[in-house]
Structures are given as structure tokens and as C-alpha cells.
Amino acid sequence: MLKSRTVAGMCLFAAMAIFAGCAKEPPKAPPPEPKADEQKSEAAPAETAAAEISEGLKELNPEDLAAAQKQKICPVTGEALGSMGKPYKVTVKDQTVFLCCEHCEEAIKKDPDKYLAKLKKGE
């Protein structure tokens, strides 16, 4: 019987220690600083995206390239021109407009005033 009391007491003590330890969360350590090689890998997606955009724009002739760079974005999706390959050139209300892809042509022709207004605002 003495052994069972000792075991029970030890279990009770262990349970109290566990609950006491769980009552407070230990202080959280600040996240470790990224190493130099990890910082480069985080920048890689942005660099990759910029390279893809550049590749898409490179497919334009010099005159269209200058116009697309000035326009910068697709008025329908807001995506950067060149992000989906070669920008798609259309004429809407006697104005040349570049789109991110041919699928945006239907939207801009359906509601040209809406999308041309975005270009004027620089959105």
C-alpha cells in the first residue's frame, strides 16, 4: 500500500508540473536572420518575373515596345504587359492598346470606355 501511495503522489506531482508548465507559454525567440544566400533566393522570384516580362516585351518591334513600356499594364486585368508573353495589340476607338493576352480583347471591345478610362488615369 505504501508503494501505491508513492506512485500516486509521483503521478500527482508530475501532473501538477505539466499543468504548471502549460499555464505559461515560453517566450518566443525572434526568427533567425536570413543568411546571405537565403536573401538571394527570396529575390529570385521577382527577378524571374522581371525577366519573363522583358522576354515578352522583346518580341515587339521597337515602336510597339516603346508604346507598351509607356502603357505598362493591361487595362483589363491590371497585369504587367509582357507577363504573359508578347503583348496583344488592338485598336479600340482609333486608339492602339496593348493587352496582356488575346483573351482580354472581348472585354475591351465590349466596354471600351471603361478600359480606356483606366489607361488615361494610369491604373
For residues 35 and 41, give the distance between their C-alpha atoms in angstroms, rounded to a whole number. 10
87 within domain boundaries: yes
Q: Report how far residue 80's alpha carbon sits from residue 89's, in angstroms, rounded to the nearest whole number.
A: 14
pLDDT of 87-118, one tens digit each? 999 999 999 999 999 999 999 999 999 999 99
Total tally of structural domains belonging to the chain: 1
Asked, for residue 11, whether it belongs to a domain, the answer is no
pTM, full prediction = 0.59
Q: Tell me the pLDDT tens digit for each residue of 2-46.
A: 555 565 656 555 555 555 555 455 556 666 766 665 554 455 666
108 falls within a domain? yes
Q: What is the largest CA-CA distance in the chain?
A: 100
Domain that holds residue 104: 56-121
Segment (H or E) for 98: strand 95-99
In a domain, 85, yes or no: yes
